[in-house]
A and B are shown apart, each in its own frame.
Chain A
Amino acid sequence: MVMMMLKGNEATAYAAKVAKVQVIPAYPITPSTLFPEKVSELISNGEMKAEFIPVESEHSALSAAIGAAATGARTMTATASQGLALMHEVLFIASGMRLPIVMAIGNRALSAPVNIWAEQQDTIAQRDSGWLQFYAENNQEALDLSLIAFRVAEDKRVLLPAMMGMDAFVLTHTMEPVDVPDESLVEKYLGPPEQKYPTLNPSQPSTFGAFVFPEHYMEFRYSQFVAMEHSKKVIDEAFEEFKNIFGREYRKVSGFMNEDADILLISMGSMTGTAREAIRKLREKGEKVGLIKLSVFRPFPKEELVEITKNARIVAVVDRNISIGFAGAIFTELVASYNNIEKKPKILNFILGLGGRDIRVEDYIEIYNRAKEAENRGVKEIQWINVDEDAVYEVEGPL
């Protein structure tokens, strides 16, 4: 291992290096551009052996990745926001063809209005695309979860592509010390980049992504559904093996000061550490509050989330995304996870940090205070934090 000072994009580039990724088709977009820059640099100065394919769009980047992965090459790319949106139709092709591509995402808001800053809407909007989704809290996690993503994606019981999300700028452009593991250890963890699954092979011709009639299509889709369900166990195994080899522990769902908490906050991504700081401050004042961190959104870890939240009185779900017309994604899926369970906490949704609005310790304290109000009286189920509601009501009329 070697400790390096790395930005989030560089950490994922080093993940590609130590994972011995063989093909990297990429098209630059803010805030992901540093990824293609860094891997190009590593390849050109001889530190990394991989084919870098500069393409003309994100649609082509993922299409080229599909071609590469279909030959059995370990394949990685990176994008963000509009770039991921442009890939939309190709995402389904990658997962439908069961190709274990890993993609690092600089989580960024979508236009319009144009905005290049942190928000998880871009990946959340792709939650139905059949890709696994991991979310990093810091740059070490961005590197580690990229490796874990390969391990899970390439597992024969899964064979699905994976996204690894890290918030724009807050991680992609922030420099932190990162432990870059030895390639030999990573090879032990991932196995060599060899053909582990059926691939295009001239000596054994086969067809991928072919035309399928109604009598067979559903079985392909059900296969994906089953594989994603199986990935839950595979992810746990991958986390366990990662801890054994590299010493760092990951869970789909992890708790902080949650054991005796009356009120639990749920957070995913770069703002989780800020939330922990808020929890510490509130605990110092004697408040019984805890934090649940979500590192995996697809598959949605509903069993673990229900288990860890069921004894709380109130669960405040923090979403850095919003499905206009309903609610934040984590909230929606947590509520659905409690389907057919009688005893459930009161679940509230707080929307914050869209388009890079800074998420501060005091925002979490505000969330806690509002959640606490719900103990004694009815409060709005979905609340937006740190937003100028009056300015909006003036134009749109009050809510």
Chain B
Amino acid sequence: MFEIRFHGRGGQGAVTAANILATAAFYEGNDVQSFPFFGVERRGAPVEAYTRIDNKKIDIKMYIYNPDAVVVLDTSLMKDLDVTRGLKKGGYLILNTQKKPSDFNYKDFKVAVVDATEVAVEFGLGSKSSPIVNTAILGAYSKAVGNVKIDSISKAIRDSAPAKAEENANAAYESYKRTVLGW
């Protein structure tokens, strides 16, 4: 079982990212679940979403307390929020940032970075002031963790995107290429 937690702000697409990742992993023959933090979502407010992936049937239906990977769509959240809460030792921390992995002082985690905001803007996803980075950051997830292939993520994006399917899929490929691994 592999568990992922997404952090973002309402409107950035964290819940959709969790759904797309689950769909992509399902295409690869896994059982999956994805769900939002149960409750109400407000634009700009902190949002969490979750994905579970397993190569056998997933029985449990409870929150994810100790994720294997954490994906942060908006690193401004990290000022007030410990995004590594419960993250397993040796787990992945995937950040949307202009900084380098070595700029972050996490000894226990594998840090991967990509400027998903820049990629999203380049592909015209959302607006310049509020780009939608969810598909771009999934490219970084695939590069960093490797348990879901970028082609599957691209297919899941194309199958589910209500608009700009091609641009979203290409944004994932582009950030896959630009992702910098800190290990």
Contacts and interface: CB of A to CB of B under 8 A. Distances in A.
A361 interface: yes
Interface in B45-88: 58-63, 65
B62 A138 contact: no
Interface centre among B26, B35, B62, B65 (most CB of A within 10 A): B62
Interface stretch (A59-67, A241-249, A314-322, A352-360): A352-360
B61 A138 contact: yes
Contacts of A273: 58-61
Contact of A175 (B22, B39, B60, B63): B22
A274 B60 contact: yes
B60 A173 contact: no
Contacts of A238: none
Interface string A277-292: 1000000000000000
B135 interface: no
Contacts of B63: 358, 360
Interface residues of B, number: 20
A39 B3 CA distance: 31
A207 to B, nearest CB: 46
Contacts of A274: 59-62
Given A170-B38, A177-B26, A277-B59, 15 more contacts: A5-B23, A5-B32, A118-B38, A169-B36, A169-B39, A170-B35, A173-B35, A174-B35, A175-B22, A175-B23, A271-B62, A274-B61, A277-B60, A358-B62, A358-B63
A117 B23 contact: no
B134 interface: no
Interface residues of A, number: 26
A116 interface: yes
Given A175-B19, A176-B32, A117 B59 contact: no
Closest 4 pairs (CB-CB, A-B): A169-B38, A273-B59, A174-B35, A175-B34
Given A138-B61, A175-B19, A274-B62, A169 B35 contact: yes
A176 B61 CA distance: 11
Interface of A: 3, 5, 116-118, 138, 168-171, 173-177, 270-271, 273-274, 276-277, 356, 358-361
A5 B22 contact: yes
Contacts of B59: 273-274, 276-277
Contacts of A176: 32-33
Interface of B: 19, 22-23, 26, 31-36, 38-40, 58-63, 65
Contacts of B65: 360
A171 B34 CA distance: 10
A360 B62 contact: yes
Contacts of B60: 273-274, 277, 361
B152 to A, nearest CB: 13
A312 B19 CA distance: 42
A173 B36 contact: yes
B62 A174 contact: no
Contacts of A177: 26, 31-32
Contacts of B38: 117-118, 168-170, 173, 356
A177 B53 CA distance: 12
Contacts of B36: 169, 173
A167 to B, nearest CB: 8
A110 B38 CA distance: 16
B100 to A, nearest CB: 34
